[in-house]
Amino acid sequence: MYLQIDHVSKFFPAPDGRHRVCVFRDVAFGIERGEFLTMVGHSGCGKSTLLNIVAGLETASSGGVVLEGREVRGAGRDRMVVFQNFSLMPWLSVFQNVRLAVRAAFPDWSRAQVREWTQRYVEMVGLAGAEAKRPAALSGGMRQRVGLARAFSTEPKVLLLDEPFAQIDALTRGVIQEELVRMWTAMRNTVFMVTHDVDEAILLSDRIALMTNGPDARLAEIVEVKLPRPRSRASIIDDPEYGRLRSHIIHFLVERSRLIQEEQGREASVLAREPVTT
């Protein structure tokens, strides 16, 4: 496996200070090189926390992340995040936001090379003409385009998408999702995305990982998306496989994610609040 999530658990200190609460436990799966894997689960299952652990912005309580056979420690330019809240620098223009990343990713390049590369990615996300605008002057959809350009422009080994379209209105979301499909088809980055949007997961992913409800969430199963590529929302909507997959995932989210958690309940009530030993 290219990227290995190796039995990762995350605990937070409980408010009483003597116990710790388990967010998720023993999550293990791998992502192949060039694969698009999405994790779906309800709020509170810790999927964004897991993504931040892969990014190196948070640390795992136990277990680890292995990329190309090497354990990942801390943040690095080989893993770039597209944030739910965009996280653009508000004092920089669109062009400068992307250029900041390009400069960091390719420190040996000349000014002209950096400029050309930056321009290429700004144009790729359809923001030609808006280079000089600051994020505050852009709509949510356009801001996330800058976020995508910034992440793709560094050519990361792994692209981490943290509910990237959650704060974008529904109509624009569809357009940007298809742009993401187009960019990913051209670049074939390895992608780990978290979302709670089932249609988005099916449209974009090769495989979908389903998490049970938190606290003390587990990885329940991973389903494969056997829809032919290239996909578009129009082309997949009538595919029987799409309907089957969608109802399977929604059933899971509505019923099973909770049932599994309740089955674990007896065990979890003991385990989730365990004394701090270390």
Partner 1 sequence: MVYGLVLLGLLLGLWQSAAGAGGKGKGDGIPGPAVVARTAWTMLSDPFYDRGPNDKGFGLQLASSLGRLASGYLAASVVAILLGVALGSSPTLFRAVNPFIQVLKPISPLAWMPLFLYTIKNSGQAAVLVIFMSSLWPTLANTAFGVASIRRDYLNVARLLQLSWPRRFVQVILPAAAPAILAGLRISIGSAWVAIVAAEMLIGGTGVGYFVWNEWNNLALDSVLFAILAIGLVGVVLDLGLGRVARLVAYSE
Chain contacts with partner 1 (rule: CB under 8 A): 55-57, 74-77, 79-81, 83, 85, 87, 89-92, 100-101, 104-105, 134-136, 154
Residue among 30 and 56 whose Cβ is closer to partner 1: 56
Residue among 83 and 242 whose Cβ is closer to partner 1: 83
Residue among 77 and 273 whose Cβ is closer to partner 1: 77
Least distance between partner 1 and beta carbon 90 (Å): 5
Residue among 52 and 264 whose Cβ is closer to partner 1: 52
* DSSP per position, the chain: --EEEEEEEEEEE-TTSSEEEEEEEEEEEEE-TT-EEEEE--TTS-HHHHHHHHHTSS--SEEEEEETTEE--S--TTEEEE-TT----TTS-HHHHHHHHHHHH-TT--HHHHHHHHHHHHHHTT-TT-TT--GGGS-HHHHHHHHHHHHHHT--SEEEEESTTTTS-HHHHHHHHHHHHHHHHHH--EEEEEES-HHHHHHH-SEEEEEPPSSSB-EEEEEE--PPSS--HHHHTT-HHHHHHHHHHHHIIIIIHHHHHHHHHHHHHHHSSEEP--
Least distance between partner 1 and beta carbon 77 (Å): 5
Residue among 86 and 242 whose Cβ is closer to partner 1: 86
Least distance between partner 1 and beta carbon 88 (Å): 8
Least distance between partner 1 and beta carbon 223 (Å): 30
